[in-house]
Amino acid sequence: MKSEKEESPKQLPAGPESAEIYDLLYVDHARISFLYTQLFPQGLLTTVKTTAQQSFSDVQNLGSDIKVIKAETKSTEGGLESIEHAFDPSWAIPLEVLSRLQTLSLVRSSARGANLGAIVLAEGFLRVIDYGGMRGLWDPVVKMAARNMPKGQKGQHFNAAEMVAIMKEVPHSIHAQFLTHEGFVWSSLRPTDLCIPVDDLTLKHGGAISGRWKVLYILDAYPDEAKPPDVSGWSGGDLTNGVLTAMHGMRAAIGRPPHWIGATPLLIFRVVNPPVREAVETAPADDVPTT
């Protein structure tokens, strides 16, 4: 007869019923991993293992059956069996980093007064512009824009052919624009770090992503007036000065707009189980402002 007794590993206490559940849209895996190694002394987790042991015993009857005398003895064999479970913690790491940063009060709720490099958590509306997906469509897009341009703005300086040539050569990155309570935030996104393919976002939402989103970002640039660089006291020669001016022009045409905050997103996510009151209050907010 074999009996077993399983000893389960100690489980972590369950979170409160009001714990937030997140839906991730973007994770900067490289920076999140680097932050993790600084926040947790054991280094970056690659595998989580749990082990359990169960004991067993096997009792056997041994004896002889003679017509006059019947003898019986018992023999017991026992042992331990180990069970090991391995888990991939890669998707738990972003939440661990966010929780640890908040515990250490390293996350700011506003970019106002923050130094460059500060980590800020903001909430608002999101637009994703895929310039890479427009690579083969610049000719009709620019012609359409020229036709729809108000008469007062049409002039000799608008050359559709030149505009198409420029747009075909500029970096075809993915841009993200956030409308937060304190202004506009601009950033670029790496396609490999998107949890949802950008073409799916485009076909499903167009440019403005429905709902309210949270963004955990590193503050990279303060709002400015996007004036051309002053090279009078720091000139690298005519060629270098010309390249700097061209780079500034590219930023003004397709990069961070004037008076916008420059950011590097670490996480873009939303809460999928907000409190009832919050859900009711934010329900009409799906109409993203077009400002």
> What's the pTM value of the predicted model, to 2 decimals?
0.70
Least reliable range by pLDDT among 9-13, 36-40, 112-116, 170-174: 9-13
Model confidence at 234: pLDDT above 70: yes
Nearest residue to 205 via CA among 286, 124, 291: 286
Residue 275 has pLDDT above 90, yes or no: no
31 pLDDT above the threshold of 70:
yes
pLDDT at 65 over 60: no
Kindly state the percentage of the chain with pLDDT values over 90: 39
pLDDT of amino acid 184: 96
pLDDT of residue 1: 46
Query: Considering only 10-14, 19-23, 145-149, 257-261, which range has the smallest mean pLDDT?
Result: 10-14
Which of the two residues, 63 and 139, has the higher pLDDT score? 139
Note the pLDDT of residue 156.
45
User: Quick check: 167 and 177 in contact, CB under 8 A?
Assistant: no
Instruction: Name the average pLDDT for the chain.
Output: 78
Q: What is the pLDDT of residue 115?
A: 96
- Predicted pLDDT of residue 56: 57
**Closest residue by Cα to residue 121 from 91, 92, 99, 93:** 99
Cα separation, 130 vs 197, whole angstroms: 11
Torsion over CA: 145, 146, 147, 151 (sign): positive
Cβ atoms of residues 129 and 207 within 8 Å? yes
Contact 175, 262 (CB under 8 A): no
pLDDT of 284 above 50: no
Q: What is the C-alpha to C-alpha distance for residues 151 and 141, in angstroms, rounded to an integer?
A: 18
Span 234-239, average pLDDT: 88
CA 216 – CA 164 distance, rounded (Å): 35
Pick the more confident residue, 119 or 141: 119
Which has more confidence, 184 or 73?
A: 184
Q: What is the mean pLDDT of residues 253-263?
A: 90
Least confident window among 1-5, 31-35, 121-125, 182-186: 1-5
